[in-house]
Amino acid sequence: MRMNILAAVVFLLLPVFAHATASSANILSINTGSTNITTSTWVQLSASTPITVSTIVIANGTTSIMKVAFGASGSEVAYVSVGGSSTLQIKLGKLYPAATRISLETVDATASSGWVTVSLLQ
């Protein structure tokens, strides 16, 4: 329930912060209580982004530092890290085309409770 509330809040505030139109299809979430995220293996958040991505908003509802990466399995390139229990909006240095894979990995400890939401903006 908590993850759904945060996703709704992020969805409503995205146009205010990013001056863009948000779509629920562009909000990716994972419950780390059912899918643990570790320091040793990238966990796929999306196999194929639905849009070209220029900006992301990351809401990390775990206590772990989370890395967000783009790229095919085995070729992930970490782009940004966000601390536990925090939110970060970042304009990416380049455009990532639609159909790009996004994955997550922790820096400091396994995330086994909480959630992570990544909102994609064009």
With cut-offs at 50, 70 and 90, classify the pLDDT of residue 21. Answer: low
pLDDT in tens, 88-122: 999 999 999 999 999 999 999 999 999 999 999 99
Residues 15, 9: Cα–Cα separation, whole Å:
11
Tokens of 51: 């849009």
- Identify the pLDDT of residue 24: 82
pLDDT at position 12 is: 45
CB 105 within 8 A of CB 67: yes
Has residue 8 got a pLDDT over 60? no
CA distance 84 to 14: 20
Distance CA 7, CA 79 (A): 22
Q: What is the pTM of this model?
A: 0.80
Domains in the chain with CATH codes: 2-121 (2.60.120)
